[in-house]
Amino acid sequence: MTEEMNLDALRTDVLQWITDDPDKTSRDELYRLLDGLPATAPELADRFAGRLKFGTAGLRGPLRAGPNGMNLAVVRAAAAGLANWLDAKGAEGPVVIGYDARHGSRAFAAETARVVTGSGRRALVMPGTLPTPVTAYAVTKLDAAAAVQVTASHNPPQDNGYKVYLGRELGGDLGAGAQIVPPADTEIEAAIEALGPLSEIPLGDEGETLDESIVDEYLAAVATVVDPDDPKRLASVATPMHGVGGATLVKAMERAGFPAPTLVAEQAEPDADFPTVAFPNPEEPGAIDLLKALAIEEGADVALALDPDADRCSVAVPTGDGSWRQLSGNEVGVLLADHWMRKGRKGTYATTIVSTTQLKAMCERRGFGYMETLTGFKWLARTNADLAFAFEEALGYCVAPEFLRDKDGISASLVVSEIAAGQAARMATLQDRLDELAEEFGVYETGQLSVRVDDLSEIDACMKRLRAHQPTSLLDEPVTEYLDRLPDADVVTVTTANARVVCRPSGTEPKLKAYLEVREDVGGDLAAARERARASVEALKAEIAAVLGVPH
């Protein structure tokens, strides 16, 4: 009887949703699942377990009908909540709407525009599928109240999402063009929850389609991040990884004076199915194999990989033995920071609490301002009015905060290319510059312990074990600092003189992450120091896994 009652309640919830769902395709999808009951009960129960929540990353989830998925009904509600929130805040100006090439992105952008115009506000829609950084740039350039980018970044093909950026009026000097932070997310979520039936939301037209001049203005701006007098001779290869950054990257490189990079042909055009990669994320093992193969074939100086919405950038370099090595986000961040410091760029250099501490050492020795924030560019963007450069280890870099306070894989690629061309001019590589920095500051070896779970309570249990059994030593060195950031953030940092571990739940995936770092003095033998550091990171991984009670 109880099971029958649960099925009846589920059926009632589904039918009630269907009556208010504006999309026939979604309604038909749910009717088919209803026809399949009771076998389809688990699938329907998951779709109706709750509504996809609007957080600081906006929305992100699987493309499917029902409240716990990305679909036109959920997007209409999100757009209406955002429009009502902007009205409640008294924000003036249009809303810029951008979108990538994922399944559903164009339709979600059009639906957002109809809601925005229906609320009495102008909707300025990007002229086609474009990188997220172009939208982030446009929100301040066009003096908009806010911007929406429809994208799931580097998520699997079956996902889509919805990022929100604030204009100058609500974002202030530090948050203009940056992603939302609390309490904006909870206020927008409350505005969504306060909506009545979706059928009562007023809809207008699909807004004004911007012309290509906004892209040209973005390209003109990013071209200024490189010095016109620095070397530009460079052989580069690149991949947009089936995303929307390929054409923009090529134009930006040419505008800045570099030869156009050779793109991985199989990945050059947008493809929502991402057919050549298991997971469209440059960080994933094997994701840039085609890029490295092309680099060898072309005899390139540097290889660049954008993620699908082009707000992140990965870099690979030749090793000298004929193979190529992918740099970590920390290594690229350090190279970029070193470049700006040598160029004399004044201001604050910022990174996150899980990124390498090498930046702090560089700032202290060279006399530059330093700050660190919680993870996420929404925090890095708001670091300081004199922000010079910011990066996070997850391949995100802000090289031009004066016109774009968010991570941008396109402008970062230009600066990486400038460094690589400068190195090539003196018959050296990016790896050679990393070696020089190691000689100056020591070897900073980083690693990560990442544990995916099926039940989120497992992550809570691991963090409780860490807090209950605080380490007193790491790698036989005494702990010099144990920092628990509760209640502000579920993050624990354990530090010794030469090692550090930062543990936190992932903000976007069901994962527990431990970020590991070991520092080694070079002592006259860089190769030996690197080997010692790598071995120490592996030992540290085993040590912290035992404390957390997880496999490694």
Kindly state the tokens that stand for 222. 């990013």
DSSP state of 510: S
| One-character DSSP codes across 228-291 | TTS-----EEEE-TTSS-HHHHHHHHHHTTPPPPEE-GGGSS--TT-TT-SSS-TTSTTTTHHH
Question: How do 443-452 and 511-520 pair as beta strands?
Answer: antiparallel
DSSP state of 182: T
d(CA 395, CA 412): 10
The single-letter code of the amino acid at 435 is D
Kindly state the tokens that stand for 267. 């990945």
DSSP state of 55: B
d(CA 6, CA 49): 13
Closest CA to 302 of 431, 441, 196, 470: 431
Closest CA to 333 of 308, 288, 310, 363: 363
**Three-state secondary-structure class, residue 388:** strand
Closest CA to 241 of 326, 295, 308: 308
The single-letter code of the amino acid at 116 is V
- The distance in angstroms from the start CA to the end CA of the chain is 45
Helix axes 430-441, 526-548, angle to 10 degrees: 80
CB 472 within 8 Å of CB 480: no
Element (DSSP H or E) covering residue 390 = strand 387-392
CB 403 within 8 Å of CB 221: yes
Kindly state the tokens that stand for 225. 């991040």
d(CA 500, CA 353): 11
Q: Which residues of 446-485 are buried (b: 16+ CB within 10 A; e: fewer)?
A: bbbbebebeeeebbebbbeebeeeebeebeeeebeeeebe
d(CA 27, CA 29): 5
Q: Which long-range contacts (CB under 8 A, 24 or more apart) does 337-345 make?
A: 337/362, 337/389, 337/391, 338/362, 338/433, 338/437, 339/415, 339/418, 339/419, 340/388, 340/389, 340/399, 341/366, 341/368, 343/227, 345/388, 345/389
Question: How do 95-99 and 146-150 pair as beta strands?
Answer: parallel
Q: Which residues of 144-172 are buried (b: 16+ CB within 10 A; e: fewer)?
A: bbbbbbbbbbbbebbbbbbbbbbbbbbbe
| Known catalytic membership, residue 153 | yes
Choose, from 26, 105, 119, 153, the residue flagged as catalytic.
153
d(CA 148, CA 79): 9
Q: Which residues are catalytic?
A: 153
